[in-house]
Amino acid sequence: MTATARTPSISGLRAAQSMLVRGLHVRSPMMKGVPGSDIAMVRFGHRRTFVIKHPDYVDHVLHDGVDRYHKSIEYELLRAVLGLNLFTDEDESWRRHRMMLNPVMAKRHVRGMCDLMIAPIEDYLGRTDDGSDRIPIEMAGAMTELTMDVVGAALFGHQFGDMARRMQRVVTTGLRSAEFATRVLTVAPPPVWGMRALSRVIHHAPLLPPPLSQLQWVMKTVDETVWDVIHARQDHPTEADDLLNLLLGTRDEEGDALPLQRVRDEVTTFMLAGHETTANAMAWMWYLLALNTDARDRMLAEVDEALDGRTPTTEDLAKLPWTTACFQEAMRFYPPAWAIPRTAIADDEIDGHRIPKGSHVVIPIHAIHHDERFWPDPEVYDPSRFLGDAAKGRHRSAYLPFGGGRRICIGTSFALMETTLITAMLSQRFVFDLVPGHPVEPEATLTLRPRHGVKMIARRRATTTSHTSTSKAAA
């Protein structure tokens, strides 16, 4: 039976449907276009913001006209913490480094990290499983902790342990500070040079008022954490196939290595941006599966048949298409990166609409993912959308959880492998049910997070076969 049960009309879903309006402050009477139109302009002072929600228009910005757009001023907040990397870089510098790093994140390298991911998942199960049949779990926090450990293992060849718990608070504080700053920037955006000067002040000032003091704490904590790991690797080199070694060994066409600062900036992005979006998507997936038990039952059956109680290997990933589709559909329903902002660096035109240089352009991913023109029954959680013929012929810019165009997330394959492994291994032992009455509500910071978490009960599976490890680490 295909799982197409309609997700109940809950307050969290209603909040998600309206969050674009709140997040973009679309309250101005100077909004052109009509409700439901695919392009609308909002003016804040001297700043024009165009909201585009048709995949053809999105295609123009992310593909055909990509050279006429840069990431918007809001990304300077991320650059202050993450540094200059593939996520925050532009133009020729971005192209050069993307060419250098594409081989690093090629599928052959990513699949080689499978064994590195297994150990932290097993350790998480060991910490969580107290032997009882029903274990309370706050899923958003649990996935944040677990994905940080998995990313740490794949990046650095070891788990973060207590650092993962510390970084969870850092990420939450940073995102909420960034949300506040983004609202200010929407109304009164400074020039880029002003933002970068402010970043230097925040880094070095001895005493700052809130919320700048919070942002300073985030910057310094992230900086110290990442540099400690890099310096430790320099002092004690390894032969591990982790991402840090791959980055340290990367060379350009002339044989030059990545500068150490660039290694730090790329590592920081993978660690923070990568784990944050994955953790949120995983929390939403468990929530949606609990509401749609047909989809969950099919996933459990697939995991049991493909793995027969053993630890998954790289070769098993192809045997888990429904499990992977459950995550892909969750990213459609609740995309962690819920909007893409851009700034026009040259005059442009979209379907006859003039986009002046300096205008702000926003792609509302959540709205596109719930548009019935591109997604039949968009309020139904249906992983079969991503299997077989149903996955073919879809507009390439109708599904954007990893962005699109040449700037599509370089870690897409990594995220899909990581989440399939986590889903399969946790599902071998537990079924996750929602705690009745707990409010689940999206919070639109820079990512779409569960505001109050997702409280669940891990119910032990009575039919689970004995868990045996076949990973290389246990061999």
What is the percentage of the chain residues whose pLDDT exceeds 90?
Answer: 54
**Tokens 């997702």 map to which residue?**
454
Q: Is the pLDDT of residue 5 over 60?
A: no
The pLDDT of residue 72 is 84
Helix (H, G, I), strand (E, B) or coil at 124: helix
Strand-pairing partners, residue 343, are 70, 360
Q: Is residue 466 part of a domain?
A: no
Q: Is residue 3 part of a domain?
A: no
Mean pLDDT of 300-327: 97
Mean pLDDT of 63-73: 92
Q: Is the pLDDT of residue 56 over 60?
A: yes
The band of 472, judged by pLDDT with boundaries at 50, 70 and 90, is very low
Q: How many CB atoms lie within 10 A of CB 191?
A: 9
The pLDDT of residue 364 is 95
For residue 189, give the CATH number of its domain.
1.10.630.10
The band of 174, judged by pLDDT with boundaries at 50, 70 and 90, is low
Q: Is residue 33 part of a domain?
A: no
Q: Domain count of the chain?
A: 1
The pLDDT of residue 160 is 61
Q: Which two three-digit tokens encode residue 7?
A: 């997700």
Domain hosting 399: range is 83-337+380-460
Q: How far apart are CA 336 and CA 338, in angstroms?
A: 6
Q: Is the pLDDT of residue 140 over 50?
A: yes
pLDDT digits (tens, 9 = 90+) for 106-130: 878 888 889 889 999 999 999 999 9
Amino acid 319 reads K
Q: How far apart are CA 328 and CA 332, in angstroms?
A: 6
Q: Is residue 332 part of a domain?
A: yes
Q: How far apart are CA 414 and CA 411, in angstroms?
A: 5
Q: Is residue 43 part of a domain?
A: no
The pLDDT of residue 12 is 39
Four-residue CA torsion sign, 285, 289, 292, 298:
positive
Q: Is residue 9 part of a domain?
A: no
Q: Is residue 315 part of a domain?
A: yes
Q: How far apart are CA 19 and CA 339, in angstroms?
A: 10
Nearest-Å Rg of the Cα atoms of the chain is 22
Q: Is the pLDDT of residue 36 over 90?
A: no
Helix 275-291 and helix 412-429, axial crossing angle in degrees, nearest 10: 40
Q: Which two three-digit tokens encode residue 146?
A: 């677990």
**Cβ contact 77:216 at 8 Å:** no
Q: How far apart are CA 71 and CA 212, in angstroms?
A: 23
User: In whole numbers, what is the pLDDT of the chain averaged over residues?
Assistant: 83
User: pTM of this prediction?
Assistant: 0.85
The pLDDT of residue 346 is 97
Four-residue CA torsion sign, 29, 32, 34, 38:
negative
Helix (H, G, I), strand (E, B) or coil at 264: helix
How far CA 329 is from CA of 293, 350, 395, 425, in Å, comes to 15, 29, 16, 19
What end-to-end distance do the CA atoms of the chain give, in Å? 38
Q: Is residue 75 part of a domain?
A: no
pLDDT digits (tens, 9 = 90+) for 382-416: 999 999 999 998 999 999 999 999 999 999 999 99
